Amino acid sequence: MAMTLQRNIILALLIALAAASWTVLIRQQIGTSAGMEMYSPTMGMKAPLFLVVWIVMMIAMMFPAAAPMILTFHHVQAAKRGRGETFVSTWVFVAGYMLVWSVIGVLAFAGAAGAERIGMGMSATTAARIGGALLIVAGAYQLSPLKDLCLAKCRTPIGFVLTSWRDGRWGAARMGLEHGVFCLGCCWLLFLALFPLGIMNVAAMAVVTLLIFAEKTFPSGNRIAKASGVALLLYGVAVLVFPQALPTFQAAGAMTMN
């Protein structure tokens, strides 16, 4: 009973953190939707604020899909505690997991800032077609063997525990880091595809979140990943032919005129 209660408390905390993060993101979109910041790669933010928003995004988008792995880790640690063995708090694992996404946030800001400088005098059509090419790359990755390998690790929490278990606090943090790297391998191009769609486009974020959750938890997750890859390829090709099909097209045109 105690283990079930602990599991329910952790699950409730994960859901509450994700829900609070979605609330912040929606408020942020409302605050920026009147200007071009919503569509610019850095959202008009300096590095510290961008990183904070990025971490909030990762909590909102990744905690639902990471919950089975986090709960599995807690189950093993709780069993060790019940036997009188040394155990580690589940949040050490979560901290290692989030460290991966925080580092990626720093790299994302550097890339976004560089993209803004390069695209300053670029026409809306050219910028949209670059975004279309990025969508094609994201779609192709969804169909790749590397995606399959990383997704297999993320879809089987107990398998990950059996093959990657390490004792102690550092071991737990290292497991979180390792699982974060596999999640990154599953999802990084889906997140990169958010930039041409509008980094603060909550609708696009919601679709990516649902896709990541379905890939990792549904029995047909592998087929869902493949279908999404085909959809991204087709959409990317459509954007190459009709740049106006990209949500950020009009905003890019306005920024060019400005």
The DSSP line for 33-58 is TTSGGGTSTTTT--HHHHHHHHHHHH
Q: Provide the residue range defining the domain that includes 75.
A: 2-257
Domain count, the chain: 1
Rounded to two decimals, what is the model's pTM? 0.87
What per-residue confidence (pLDDT) applies to 256?
44
3-state DSSP assignment of residue 88: coil
| pLDDT > 90? residue 247 | no
Check residue 118 and give its pLDDT: 79
Q: How far is CA 161 from CA 11, 180, 192, in A?
A: 19, 14, 29
For 253, the token pair is 């045109």
Q: What is the DSSP letter of 121?
A: T
- Over residues 125-149, the pLDDT tens digits come to 888 899 899 999 999 999 999 999 9
